[in-house]
Amino acid sequence: MLEPLLIAELAALGLFTGFLAGLLGIGGGMLMVPFITLILAGRGVAPDLSVKMAIATSMATIIFTSVSSVRAHHKRGAVRWDIVRRLAPGIVLGAMLASVGVFSVLKGQALALVFAAFVAFSGTQMLLDKKPSPSRAMPGTAGQLGAGGAIGFLSGLVGAGGGFVSVPFMTWCNVPIHNAVATSAALGFPIALANVVGYVLAGLSLEGRPPASVGYVFLPALAVIASASVLMAPLGVRAAHALPVKPLKRIFAFILYALAAVMLYKGLTT
């Protein structure tokens, strides 16, 4: 049973991450992981396990957030479904490889450092706002299959919806930022579903988990955060379509830097 204060904290986290999911197409996972790690550690979960459970639980919430977010984006005609269809098969394969295999082998400290490195890299790409070559476009089917595999694999390692890779990748390929954010939200569902199946299978026989856990997923946190985030995602979508491009990219970049710093500290001090 969760304490009232903890429920309030998780609900606030869900509201904020739901808004970000709609605004930036990042699923909110990168914000949830540091906070859920601290919550689980405070409940006596071992440091190595708390990082892994935070990653798995944050990914599980993206299943619900992505549906709410993508419906709002789709109503505005912003989702590039042609890109979703080509990236999704590779995303599922990459996610399953990461969540069933590599995730259970790596130490939580290593995962925290990987998380920090890739989030910081993505933030830098957005902040620099380098203009892509005007002739560059999304690669063909084979290229998008490979890109999807990389997005799914990385998201499986760090518990994020893939937006931290897919949004910079699509904008690098001259997909407008608003379309990239919307399409990333649509990609969050196959990323999250494939990874969560892997996290559950990989952690079924794990010892030391808190009560009400399924595999690496901590169900009480999932229920509270998902309920709150679904409410806020459509509001984030409205803000995304109202904001000009450059401020949107800067918001994305600075949030990523802050999250990278938190997880870098966690990885170095665990």
Buried b (16+ CB within 10 A) or exposed e, 41-74: beeebebbbbbbbbbbbbbbbbbbbbbbbbebbe
pLDDT digits (tens, 9 = 90+) for 118-155: 778 767 877 776 666 667 788 888 898 898 898 888 77
**Measured distance CA(25)–CA(120) in Å, rounded:** 17
Give the C-alpha distances (Å, rounded to integers) separating 254 from 84, 111, 258, 264: 27, 21, 6, 15
**Measured distance CA(155)–CA(165) in Å, rounded:** 8
**Measured distance CA(236)–CA(94) in Å, rounded:** 28
pTM over 0.75: no
Are the C-beta atoms of 119 and 259 separated by less than 8 Å?
A: yes
pLDDT digits (tens, 9 = 90+) for 18-45: 787 677 656 566 677 778 888 888 878 8
pLDDT digits (tens, 9 = 90+) for 227-258: 888 788 778 778 777 777 677 777 777 877 87
Domain that holds residue 261: 4-269
* Residues 6 or more apart in contact with residue 261 via CB below 8 angstroms: 116
**Alpha carbon of residue 269 to chain centroid:** 23
For residue 97, count CB atoms less than 10 angstroms from its CB and return exposed for 0-12, middle for 13-18, buried for 19 or more: middle
Number of domains in the chain: 1
Distant-in-sequence contacts of 251-255, Cβ < 8 A, 24+ apart: 251/23, 251/24, 252/24, 252/26, 252/123, 252/126, 252/167, 253/123, 253/124, 253/126, 253/127, 254/123, 254/127, 255/20, 255/24, 255/30, 255/31, 255/123
